[in-house]
């Protein structure tokens, strides 16, 4: 994975849980430093990525389904994933197709 880029596209209807899935995965991986896995937001949207993940997890963990991210807002979440032997940039592209009510 040296100098690798991992690109993952999550496609679904608005409100279907794309960002919740991404946020939960990022949260889980970011808590694995003791296993040699380090995940940290990176790039020009670093603070926006971190804020988005924290907000969605806070809503979800309080028993509320998080609101949808408007298509003109954050649609790419980017992290640096580092293990004991490798490093990669991980980008999640969050694409909304239609609405959940359709």
Distances in whole angstroms, Cα of residue 26 to Cα of each of 57, 97, 101: 10, 23, 28
Domain map of the chain by residue range? Answer: 4-99
Query: Is the pLDDT reported for residue 3 higher than 70?
Result: no
pTM reported for the whole predicted model = 0.68
Q: How far apart are CA 51 and CA 84, in angstroms?
A: 27
| Overall residue count recorded for the chain in this entry | 102
Do the beta carbons of residue 76 and residue 45 sit within 8 Å? yes
At residue 5 the predicted structure's pLDDT band, cuts being 50, 70 and 90, is confident
Q: How far apart are CA 58 and CA 5, in angstroms?
A: 29
The string of pLDDT tens digits covering residues 51-70 is 878 888 888 889 888 877 66
């Amino acid at each position: 994975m040296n100098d690798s880029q991992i690109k993952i596209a999550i496609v679904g209807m608005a409100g279907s849980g794309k960002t919740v899935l991404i946020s939960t995965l990022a949260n889980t991986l970011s808590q694995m430093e003791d296993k040699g896995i380090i995940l940290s937001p990176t790039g020009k949207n670093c603070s926006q990525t971190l804020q988005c993940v924290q907000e969605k997890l806070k809503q979800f963990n309080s028993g509320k389904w998080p609101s949808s991210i408007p298509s003109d807002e954050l649609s790419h979440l980017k992290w640096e994933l580092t293990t004991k032997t490798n490093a990669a940039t991980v980008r999640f592209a969050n694409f909304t197709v239609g609405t959940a009510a359709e």
